[in-house]
């Protein structure tokens, strides 16, 4: 048996003993979790789920942003060995549908998600398939490995048509995804990075991660300020990372005519979004979620090269038994000071855990 943090419904995450996964077969790999981040998606599921969790699912172990070590392999595994340090892509895909054949794995028609539709990484052990594993170089610590997933989400955004080196970008919201977007935008060569954020500590971290200007919408009109910083035209790209109608509309309005508004925030209820502005000014609105083939590898390469330093994102490191009060609840309570909470269920980091039977 092993300790796990399981979702049972909104405001109902339980620390409970569950069976340790069986020895893997076929292409499956048993991994021992090193560090797992509490994602904004996990927080949405905690507060208002089920959102991505299927309504028919009564219980699931959360956790999908994680680094791990391979503990055991199935009999058809040929690309991983026991002891390998890895990051795990949470998408488990069919590899056969229209979207898988085009390497658009987050749109797989038969997609399973580690930590949302199947048990995830807020437990000492979890199971993945060998094609979900990405090697983690020795030069990158396990903690940074747990940040690859949210960074890959924003790297995916920076690869969209309409994003190019030398462009300016306005990022709305400096939570974990917004701050990841700042770091990635700087790493890939965007020229001017403007951030809209009212919480002072988040604003400070945005500057540390490469923002050129941080606007407090309580003190300035954010739309006017963005236009003022872009010679009156609006930003080439905007990226909304909050998930509210108000901030989505700001992202659309702040993009220049012919520009791109990326919507990455997850809403908990239907939104009233102004589409007339997009029609009138021929702006493109594009959703941004997940990642394509190779984008985890690209983020790891940016880290290894020194162009991407994710360390300011990490607010707290916890053992699994503290995940509720010092993790989920603190992310709600301490929104300004708490950005990314990393949790270790592994005995190698001093946390409680079971053993492979």
Residues 6+ apart with CB under 8 A from 156: 288, 290, 291, 292, 295
**Are 215 and 245 within one domain?**
yes
pLDDT for position 118: 96
Q: Is the Cβ–Cβ distance between 182 and 70 less than 8 Å? A: no
Q: How far is CA 249 from the centre of its chain?
A: 22
pLDDT confidence band for 272 (50 / 70 / 90):
confident
Tell me the two tokens of residue 159: 């690869």
Helices and strands (H, E) in the chain, number of each type: 11, 18
**Are 37 and 119 within one domain?**
yes
Find the largest Cα–Cα distance for the chain: 65
Match 């490191």 to its residue by tokens: 317
**Are 129 and 16 within one domain?**
yes
Predicted confidence (pLDDT) at residue 41 exceeds the cutoff of 80:
yes
pLDDT for position 274: 83
Count of CB atoms situated within 10 Å of the CB of 186: 18
**Are 175 and 40 within one domain?**
no
Predicted confidence (pLDDT) at residue 335 exceeds the cutoff of 90:
no
In a domain, 292, yes or no: no
Q: Give the Cα separation of 246 and 205 in Å (integer).
A: 23
Q: What is the pLDDT of residues 278-324, one digit of tens each?
A: 999 999 999 998 898 899 999 999 999 999 999 999 999 999 999 99
Predicted confidence (pLDDT) at residue 354 exceeds the cutoff of 50:
no
Q: Give the Cα separation of 310 and 159 in Å (integer).
A: 19
In a domain, 305, yes or no: no
Percentage with pLDDT > 90 across the chain: 87
**Are 102 and 53 within one domain?**
yes
**Are 52 and 172 within one domain?**
no
**Are 132 and 236 within one domain?**
no
Predicted confidence (pLDDT) at residue 28 exceeds the cutoff of 60:
yes
Pick the last residue of a domain from 235, 254, 287.
Answer: 287
pTM score, two decimals?
0.92
State how beta strands 133-135 and 125-129 pair.
unpaired
**Are 229 and 258 within one domain?**
yes
Residues 6+ apart with CB under 8 A from 232: none
Supply φ then ψ for residue 134, to 5 degrees.
Answer: -120, 125
For the chain, give the mean pLDDT.
Answer: 93
pLDDT confidence band for 349 (50 / 70 / 90):
low
Domain span holding position 72: 2-147+310-353
Burial 68-102 (b: 16+ CB within 10 A, else e): bbbbbbbeebeebeeebbbbbbbbbbeeebebbee
Predicted confidence (pLDDT) at residue 270 exceeds the cutoff of 80:
no
Predicted confidence (pLDDT) at residue 352 exceeds the cutoff of 50:
no
* β partners of residue 128: 29
pLDDT for position 188: 95
Count of CB atoms situated within 10 Å of the CB of 166: 9
Cβ burial, residue 139 (10 Å; 0-12/13-18/19+): exposed
The CATH number for 139's domain is 3.90.180.10
Match 């020194």 to its residue by tokens: 306
Listing DSSP states for 193-243 in one string gives EEEE--SHHHHHHHHHTT-SEEE-TTTS-HHHHHHHHTTTS-EEEEEE-S-
3-state secondary structure of 315: strand
In a domain, 337, yes or no: yes
Q: How far is CA 264 from the centre of its chain?
A: 10
pLDDT confidence band for 348 (50 / 70 / 90):
low
Match 């890939």 to its residue by tokens: 188
Supply φ then ψ for residue 95, to 5 degrees.
Answer: 70, 10
**Are 140 and 163 within one domain?**
no
**Are 136 and 158 within one domain?**
no
pLDDT for position 347: 60
In a domain, 304, yes or no: no
Report cis status (omega within 30 of 0) of the bond before 319: no
Average pLDDT score over residue span 169-190 = 96
Closest by CA position to 188, among listed 274, 85, 302: 302
pLDDT for position 38: 97
Domain count, the chain: 2
Q: Which of 12-26, 33-47, 263-277, 284-298 has the lowest mean pLDDT?
A: 263-277
Q: Is the Cβ–Cβ distance between 244 and 271 less than 8 Å? A: yes
- The full length of the chain comes to 357
Average pLDDT score over residue span 327-353 = 80
Predicted confidence (pLDDT) at residue 237 exceeds the cutoff of 80:
yes
In a domain, 297, yes or no: no
């Amino acid at each position: 048996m092993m300790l796990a943090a399981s979702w049972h419904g909104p405001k109902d995450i339980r620390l409970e003993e569950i069976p340790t996964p069986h020895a893997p077969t076929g292409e499956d790999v048993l991994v021992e979790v090193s560090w797992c981040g509490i994602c904004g998606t996990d927080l949405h599921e905690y507060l208002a789920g089920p959102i991505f969790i299927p309504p028919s699912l009564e219980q699931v172990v959360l956790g999908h942003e994680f680094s791990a070590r391979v503990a055991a392999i199935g009999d058809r595994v040929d690309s991983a060995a026991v002891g390998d340090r890895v990051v795990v892509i949470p998408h488990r895909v069919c590899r056969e549908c229209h979207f898988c054949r085009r390497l658009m794995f987050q749109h797989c028609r038969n997609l399973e998600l580690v930590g949302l539709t199947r048990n995830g990484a807020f437990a000492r052990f979890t199971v993945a398939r060998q094609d979900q594993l990405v090697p983690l170089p020795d030069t990158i610590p396990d903690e940074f490995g747990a940040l690859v997933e949210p960074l890959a989400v924003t790297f995916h955004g920076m690869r969209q048509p309409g994003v190019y080196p030398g462009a300016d970008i306005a990022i709305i919201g400096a939570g974990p995804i917004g701050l990841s977007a700042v770091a990635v935008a700087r790493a890939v060569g965007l020229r001017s990075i403007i951030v809209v954020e009212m919480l002072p500590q988040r604003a400070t971290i945005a500057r540390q991660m490469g923002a050129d200007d941080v606007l407090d919408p309580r003190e300035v009109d954010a739309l006017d300020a963005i236009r003022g910083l872009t010679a009156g035209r609006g930003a080439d790209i905007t990226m909304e990372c909050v998930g509210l109608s108000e901030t989505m509309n700001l992202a659309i309005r702040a993009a220049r005519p012919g520009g791109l508004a990326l919507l990455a925030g997850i809403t908990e209820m239907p939104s009233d979004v102004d589409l007339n502005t997009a029609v009138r000014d021929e702006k493109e609105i594009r959703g941004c979620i997940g990642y394509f083939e190779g984008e985890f590898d690209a983020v790891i390469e940016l880290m290894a090269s020194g162009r991407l330093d994710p360390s300011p994102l990490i607010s707290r490191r916890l053992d699994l038994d503290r995940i509720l009060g010092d993790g989920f609840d603190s992310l709600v309570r301490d929104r300004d000071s708490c950005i990314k909470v990393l949790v270790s269920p592994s005995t190698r980091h001093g946390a409680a855990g079971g053993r492979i039977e």
